[in-house]
Amino acid sequence: MNILLLGSGGREDALAWRLAQSPSCARLIAAPGNPGILRWAECVAVDPCDPAAVVDLAKAEAIDLVVVGPEAPLVAGVGDALRAAGIAVFGPNADAARLEGSKGFTKDLCAANDIPTAAYVRVDTVGDALAALDRFAIPVVIKADGLAAGKGVTVALTRAEAVDAITRASDGPMVIEEFLEGEEASLFALVDGARTIAFASAQDHKRVGEGDTGPNTGGMGAYSPAPVLTPELEAQAMREIVEPTARAMAEAGTPFCGVLFAGLMLTRDGPSLIEYNVRFGDPECEAIMPRVDGDFAALLHSVATGRLGEVPPKLSDETTMTVVVAAKGYPATPAAGGTIGGLDHAEALVGVTVFQAGTKLSDGALVASGGRVLAVTAKGRSLGEARTRAYAAVDAIDFADGFHRRDIGWRELERIS
Ligand code: AMP
Ligand code: GLY
């Protein structure tokens, strides 16, 4: 197959790395890609959010499968345009991408289908939001409706904080919801419309600081699998959350195709849906890809062509850990341009792969060009071994303008120690 991968982050570097190793991948093109992806693919400067440009590229290169990394192209209708042109695409159409693109849409879908999620109200103005606040206990959660790159959510620990978050927001759709207590885990399910299959679990670390403190980020590290999501809880989440969602979307004439990423809160009453994403997580994807055995490109093609089950997913029993190295100042204003060295030393270590997220080449040197810069990944027979290897690799990297969390995996490491 000729495969086109859309996106330019660490998630896409991990996807490209795994796709390029797949027996059924003949040629891999990335748009726009990054210097890491350039190791495994040809990179072309096409805007992944421009449906017509993506279709033109796919036709010109005789592409058999398009794999969409981030959510923005999906919400922009790139999936629709490719399907209309008869090109297989791993990723949903825009109306199914609303599962990520609109929190209110997903909450209403849960309510209509008895899918466990936090109690909520949808409001459209600051005034209505303030009025609705009285119906909730504290803590309370306030969410902007649309895509906000992880920055649209406030978990308010006091009423004053909630009022402040609402008054700082402008009028527009918002969701106010009940605070759920428990541990979070991510479940990745492959969905081809009617059929669903659990693919992998992971746990992310969203806060910038050690001990899960400070502002939310896109994710500072992850490990896979997440043993806290036991086989029983995973089966329950598939049965009560993912399967009814896929069914409801198909019945509404807006079937979902691709990977459905369920952000779960494991509450005392069982798994509850925090949010959906309509693509792989970043950095969860970097942690999952080294565990994938078999022909990953063929697996994604089977999902894209409605043949889920014909290529069974295969994951190794090994554990992986990804430590994100970010540019100082992230998530507010990351420092750009810091030079990065030592990647060859890091990657020479057993079980280690360094995926590139926000990098660019400047006069032949690799420099930082984004908030999250590297996703340093290691696998091991245990989480402890993966951790030792991942941090040895981080320590071999020379990036003075960077920082990372030293405690990735702490919840699980505490449990097993
Ligand atoms: P989201 O963008 O919806 O995933 O929210 C970002 C983060 O906010 C989640 O990963 C949770 O840590 C937290 N969060 C969101 N909704 C809730 C909730 N209802 N109860 C507790 N924490 C939440
Ligand atoms: N790491 C969380 C996300 O990709 O949304």
- 311/188 same-domain check: yes
Residues 267 and 300 in one domain: yes
Question: Ligand 2: which residues within 6 Å by Cβ?
Answer: 204, 218-219, 277, 281-282, 284
Q: For residue 176, is pLDDT > 70? A: yes
Closest residue by CA, ligand 1 atom 5: 153
Q: Whose CA is nearest to atom 11 of ligand 1?
A: 274
Interatomic CA distance for residues 388 and 223, integer angstroms: 13
Phi, psi torsion values for 9, nearest 5 degrees: -110, -170
Protein residue closest via CA to atom 6 of ligand 1: 153
* 254 CA to centre of ligand 1 in angstroms: 26
Percent of the chain having pLDDT more than 70?
A: 99
Has residue 102 been placed in a domain? Answer: no
Residue 149 clears pLDDT 70, i.e. is over it:
no
Pair (308, 232) in one structural domain:
yes
- Specify the 3-state DSSP secondary structure of 375: strand
| Residues 9 and 24 placed together within one structural domain of the fold | yes
Task: Tell me the C-alpha distance between 286 and 410, whole Å.
Answer: 18
In this predicted model, what pLDDT tens digit does every residue of 18-74 receive, in sequence order? 999 999 999 999 999 999 999 999 999 999 999 999 999 999 999 999 999 999 999
Same domain, 201 and 287: yes
Find the mean pLDDT for residues 107-118: 98
The secondary structure of residue 289, as a DSSP letter, is G
The residue nearest atom 5 of ligand 2, judged by CA position, is: 281
Q: What CATH number is attached to the domain comprising 225?
A: 3.30.470.20
Do the beta carbons of residue 99 and residue 278 sit within 8 Å? yes
By CB atoms closer than 10 A (0-12, 13-18, 19+), residue 342 is middle
Strands 365-368 and 359-362: antiparallel
CA distances from 377 to 285, 333, 352 (A): 10, 25, 6
Ligand nearest, relative to CA of residue 285: 2
User: For residue range 152-168, what is the model confidence (pLDDT) as tens digits?
Assistant: 888 999 999 999 999 98
**pLDDT confidence band for 235 (50 / 70 / 90):** very high
- In a domain, residue 303? The reply is yes
Cβ proximity of 140 and 121 under 8 Å:
no
Let me know if residue 342 belongs to a domain.
yes
- Domains contained in the chain, number: 4
How would you classify residue 353: left for phi > 0, otherwise alpha for psi between -120 and 50, otherwise beta?
Answer: beta
Give tens-digit pLDDT for 359-405.
Answer: 999 999 999 999 999 999 999 999 999 999 999 999 999 999 999 99
CB 346 within 8 A of CB 393: yes
Task: Indicate the pairing of strand 352-356 with strand 319-327.
Answer: unpaired
Residues with CB under 6 A from ligand 1: 118, 141, 143, 150, 153, 155, 177, 179-180, 184, 206, 263, 274-275
- Determine the distance separating the centroid of ligand 1 and the alpha carbon of 274, expressed in angstroms: 6
199 and 274 both lie in a single domain? yes
Residue 349 lies in a domain: yes
Which of 289, 315, 341 is a domain's end point? 315
What CATH code is carried by the domain that includes residue 84? Answer: 3.40.50.20
For residue 154, the ligand closest to its alpha carbon is: 1
Tell me if 109 is assigned to some domain: no
Nearest CA to 180 out of 213, 155, 143 is that of: 155
> pLDDT tens, 352-361?
999 999 999 9
Confidence (pLDDT) at 417: 78
- pLDDT at position 65 is 98
- What atom in ligand 1 is closest to the CA of residue 272? 19
CA nearest ligand 1 atom 8, residue = 153
Domain boundary among 248, 283, 315: 315
Instruction: Tell me: do 126 and 12 sit in the same domain.
Output: no
Last residue of a domain, one of 315, 342, 357: 315
Residue 113 lies in a domain: no
pLDDT at 320: 98
Kindly state whether residues 209 and 289 are assigned to the same domain. Answer: yes
For residue 160, the enclosing domain spans 119-178
Token pair of 219 as six digits: 């994710």
Kindly identify the ligand whose nearest atom is closest to the C-alpha of 218.
2
Residue 148 has pLDDT above 80, yes or no: no
Whether residue 1 contacts residue 25, with contact meaning beta carbons closer than 8 Å, is answered with yes
Is residue 230 in a domain? yes
Are 188 and 300 members of one domain?
Answer: yes
Residue 19 lies inside a defined structural domain of this protein: yes
pLDDT at 260 over 90: yes
Same domain, 311 and 217: yes
In this structure, the answer to whether residues 304 and 338 fall within a common structural domain is no
Return the CATH number at 167: 3.30.1490.20
- Is the domain of 29 the same as that of 82? yes
Alpha-carbon dihedral of residues 405, 411, 413, 417, nearest 10 degrees?
Answer: 140
Tell me the pLDDT band of 150, cut-offs 50, 70 and 90.
low
User: Mean pLDDT across the stretch 277-302?
Assistant: 98
Query: Which whole-number Å values give the CA distances from 26 to 48, 193, 214, 274, in the listed order?
Result: 21, 27, 44, 39
Lowest-pLDDT choice from 140-149, 200-209, 295-304 = 140-149
Closest among 324, 314, 321, 323 to 381, alpha carbons compared: 321
